[in-house]
Amino acid sequence: MGAEVNTQTQKAELIVVYDLPSENRIEVGKKNLELKIKNLRIASIRKLHRLGLLCTESVVLVPREKEGELKKAVGEIIGAYEDVAKAERLDRFKPTIKVIELAKDQAEQFKDIAERKLLRKLDEAIDRISELLQEIDEITEEAKLKKLKTNVKRAMRELSQIEQLAKELGIKTNGKVDLLYQLYDKALEKVREAIE
């Protein structure tokens, strides 16, 4: 007879919890260094967010399949902070980044949180693009229209990434992703018409 496996303790997804040093630290003081640290912090956050869905501030739910990418990203972030600390002679300038394996029941709880946050984010995006659709007809400057076109295309790429992560994590988007694609397509069509 085979060994029984407790499904409650099987490893499911991962969460990454992080606290990154900020440019607002008192010891930094120099403007150019503040900007360097701000850019590093923002790039680090984006790198982590690309691998999963935000649950709460500084907590990202990551699909198990991305474990290798996550370890690599964490190593790169820590290395970048170490480089800045060494070059600028900064003490206590280490990021805290913890990758935690979740049991199946824990993963479900974090999925619920991530799903609620994602659905709110999608609702906000739907509201923004709906308002934009009403304003496009009033935009007459070609440069603004081209910038808008670029921004919508970028939003579509980001949406595609979010959609893939949601699928990997088994999170339902309740048709909101499809609606956003339709609205983005409509916006691009209106922009093309306005440019021509």
pLDDT by residue for the chain (196 residues), tens digit each? 333 334 444 568 999 999 999 888 756 667 788 889 999 999 999 999 999 999 998 999 999 999 999 999 999 999 999 999 999 888 888 999 999 999 999 999 999 999 999 999 999 999 999 999 988 888 889 899 999 999 999 999 999 999 999 999 999 998 999 999 999 999 999 999 888 7
| Residue appearing with tokens 């790198």 | 47
What ranges make up the beta strands (E) of the chain?
11-19, 53-56, 59-62, 96-103
CA dihedral over 101, 104, 106, 108, signed as positive or negative: positive
CATH code for position 37: 3.30.70.240
* Judgement on whether residues 91 and 133 belong to the same structural domain of the protein: no
Per the structure, the complete domain to which residue 93 belongs is given by 11-104
Residues in the chain: 196
End of a domain among 66, 88, 104? 104
- Residue 96 falls inside a structural domain: yes
Residue 179: exposed, middle, or buried by beta-carbon count in 10 A (0-12, 13-18, 19+)? middle
Query: Cα 153 from chain centroid?
Result: 17
Q: What is the pTM (predicted TM-score) of this model? A: 0.81
* Judgement on whether residues 118 and 176 belong to the same structural domain of the protein: yes
* Judgement on whether residues 168 and 99 belong to the same structural domain of the protein: no
* Judgement on whether residues 100 and 166 belong to the same structural domain of the protein: no
CA geometry: angle 123, 124, 126, nearest 5 deg? 65
- Residue 5 falls inside a structural domain: no
- Residue 129 falls inside a structural domain: yes
